[in-house]
Amino acid sequence: MNRSVTVAGVTYNMFAEAKPNPFTDLHLYNICSELMTLQGTDKIMKAFYLQGGWEAWAQVECALTLRPSHPSIKREQAIYNNSTDLIDLWIQEPGQSKVGIEMKCRNVNFGLENSGTGLPAQVLEDVVKIQRPLKTIYAGARRMFAIGVTGYPLDCVWNSTHNESKWSEAHANNALLNLNTNLKWCRFFGNRSIENDIAQFVSGHPTWTNLYLIWYEA
């Protein structure tokens, strides 16, 4: 459900809060479980500060987690028609719907005031990407996801004073982006409420106490 939170007199409009279902969204549920394990050992926080980011590492860790139940899983597959673009994770098991996942992870290189390199802008690029036509051998019944992993709570709001969090402006003129109904967020690590998490960040004392998943299914 959509809701708003007010912190220090400022109202932040959230998009829909929903956790992946372990039965119908098992792939995302397992990805969250693996990232929880990594965060529990403090690896994500350490990786966050590496120049170049931690996205490829996270993709490999998640692929290894999914591999026992989905042995066909591959990384960096050229599934899109008339394009050299690659999808981050691709599952194509016989007799089952195919699953494609594009994954972005917030890192220290994402400037807080740069809408062009912020996590929302990068996830939105993937939202458009996963709706492209696929090559014939990859076509058919499928589920396509664009996801973002972040410890920055303002990535989960439509509008804020931080330029990169203005989702509504970023997708306003693109008919492909049905963000009002398809875009969701959830907290999958940490116990602090998102209200308290936002307050911590806007006060200038950010800590990655929580981890959030932003996810869109095309």
Q: State residue 113's pLDDT score.
A: 46
Is the model more confident about 25 or about 68?
68
Residues 6+ apart with CB under 8 A from 34: 61, 62, 65
**What is the per-residue pLDDT across 52-111, written as a single tens digit (0 to 9) for each?**
788 898 899 889 988 888 889 999 999 998 778 899 999 988 877 889 999 999 887 765
- What does the alpha-carbon distance between residue 135 and residue 199 come to, in Å, rounded to a whole number? 46
Q: State residue 88's pLDDT score.
A: 95
Cβ atoms of 67 and 74 within 8 Å: the answer is no
- What does the alpha-carbon distance between residue 150 and residue 80 come to, in Å, rounded to a whole number? 27
Written as one string, the DSSP assignment of 28-58 is: HHHHHHHHHHHHHTTHHHHHHTSTT-SHHHH
Q: State residue 175's pLDDT score.
A: 46
pTM over 0.75: yes
Does the CA dihedral 37-39-42-46 come out positive or negative? Answer: positive
**What is the per-residue pLDDT across 180-191, written as a single tens digit (0 to 9) for each?**
567 888 888 888
Per the prediction, the chain carries an average pLDDT of 80
What is the mean pLDDT of the segment spanning 120-128?
Answer: 83
- What does the alpha-carbon distance between residue 196 and residue 5 come to, in Å, rounded to a whole number? 10
Burial class (CB in 10 A: 0-12, 13-18, 19+), 49: exposed
Q: State residue 202's pLDDT score.
A: 79
